[in-house]
Amino acid sequence: MFPSDAGVVDLTQPPYAIKGDGKTDCTVGIQRALDDTAGSMKILYFPKGVYLVSDTLKWGFAGGERRPVLQGTSLSG
């Protein structure tokens, strides 16, 4: 879907493999992706789906530090 050098991380693919099925808690996988990409300008991509988050996600930011971008699609595609 995206070129391999585009800096896009599809969170439904390994190593995160979160499920946007509306039933599975995705908190741990999303937090791991945020931690792994801290200090980068990666795009964390959420394909069409419903992603359950049961706890606060911690997304560090120290003035001027790069941070990943969260990007998704609508439920309708």
Cβ atoms 45, 68 nearer than 8 A: no
Token look-up 């991380």 returns: 9
pLDDT at position 77, please? 57
Q: Dihedral of the CA atoms 59, 69, 41, 14 (nearest 10)?
A: 90
Query: Which pLDDT does position 67 carry in this prediction?
Result: 77
The domain locations on the chain are 8-70
- At CA 73, angle to CA 37 and CA 57, rounded to 5? 40
Residue 68 has what pLDDT? 83
Write out residues in the chain with pLDDT < 70, as ranges.
1, 60-65, 75-77
